[in-house]
Amino acid sequence: MGVKGFVEGGIASIIAGCSTHPLDLIKVRMQLQGESAPVFALNGSSGATITMPRPPPPAGPISVGVKIFRTEGVAALFSGVSATVLRQTLYSTTRMGLYEIFKEKWSDPNTGNLTLTRKIGSGLLAGGIGAAVGNPADVAMVRMQADGRLPAAQRRNYKGVADAISRMVKQEGVTSLWRGSSLTVNRAMIVTASQLASYDQIKETILSKGVMGDGLGTHVTASFAAGFVAAVASNPVDVIKTRVMNMKVEEGVEPPYKGAVDCAVKTVRAEGPMALYKGFIPTISRQGPFTVVLFVTLEQVRKILKDY
């Protein structure tokens, strides 16, 4: 497979990422809803609990999308798309290429078959490595997507992914490019294992049972199912990752979260456990089409490049 697997995966990932970018942006905005709103406080003199005003109910994906369109313009739905291209180039190209290499290495030499556990193992390893490579672009993408929700005076106003990365290095140090990297790696391992392994497994099952042939119907069915599995498995980690990456760190000011665990605890305490599934509708709305576009494109690219 070699380099060809990376090229095929990279082309398919960039096309899928760009075509579903607005849905990803809406997901990020929804995941950030209510993160700074305290639910209660303690009265120091009496020790009594004082209930604070609750934030308004979180808006749904359609409301969030319409609000972005009305207040920021249609171009805002593609905020951070340059970071998406870089992220897919680094992260997805790496994970897709490595997944194929690991599959080939661990397949049964006699039958060419690969067990589900080995597919999952291939996905976990490939996803983790890909995420470590692509984390700087991921941080830049989250910040650029979230910027429009801030008051004008607090916006970062990055001009593009290169500007975002260079300013982060100058203002916050080079380590800021790997902020939330443990979460990115964990999420990528979960997504890659659930997405790629389930696609391969479902596709193989459809073909072996003779339900459909190796064509568009099989590719769409297997990829949408894989997208649903990936969305359910990864959403909690994705919410925490988004919040940690988006937080502002200023000198002399304690950051909102000390790390991933602290963010998870504060989120659940303040907003309840279902806060970890904030943005799930746009996640599945994005993950489904993304995975369909990814694998349908990948299958077509493979056909085009099969003789190379």
Q: What is the pLDDT of residue 50?
A: 45
The domains of the chain are located at: 2-38+57-305
Mean pLDDT of the chain: 87
pLDDT, tens digit, for every residue of 157-174?
A: 898 899 999 999 999 999
Q: What is the pLDDT of residue 43?
A: 47
pLDDT above 70 as % of the chain? 92
Q: What is the pLDDT of residue 46?
A: 47
Task: Judge if pTM exceeds 0.85.
Answer: no
| pLDDT(6) > 70 | yes
Q: What is the pLDDT of residue 291?
A: 95
Q: What is the pLDDT of residue 286?
A: 80
Q: What is the DSSP string of the chain?
A: -HHHHHHHHHHHHHHHHHHTHHHHHHHHHHHTTTTT---EEE-TTT--EEEPPPPPPPPPHHHHHHHHHHHH-GGGGGTTHHHHHHHIIIIIHHHHHHHHHHHHHHS-TTT----HHHHHHHHHHHHHHHHHHHHHHHHHHHHHHHGGGS-GGG----SSHHHHHHHHHHHH-GGGGGTTHHHHHHHHHHHHHHHHHHHHHHHHHHHHTTSS-SSHHHHHHHHHHHHHHHHHHHHHHHHHHHHHHH----TTS--S-SSHHHHHHHHHHHH-GGGGGTTHHHHHHHHHHHHHHHHHHHHHHHHHHTT-
Using pLDDT thresholds of 50, 70 and 90, give the confidence band for residue 111: confident
pLDDT, tens digit, for every residue of 13-54?
A: 999 999 999 988 888 888 788 765 444 344 444 444 444 455
Q: What is the pLDDT of residue 36?
A: 58
Q: What is the pLDDT of residue 20?
A: 92
Q: What is the pLDDT of residue 57?
A: 65
Section 142-171 average pLDDT: 89
Using pLDDT thresholds of 50, 70 and 90, give the confidence band for residue 55: low
CATH of 2-38+57-305, one of 1.10.510.10, 1.50.40.10, 2.40.50.140, 3.40.50.720: 1.50.40.10
pLDDT, tens digit, for every residue of 226-264?
A: 999 999 988 998 899 888 888 877 777 888 898 889 999
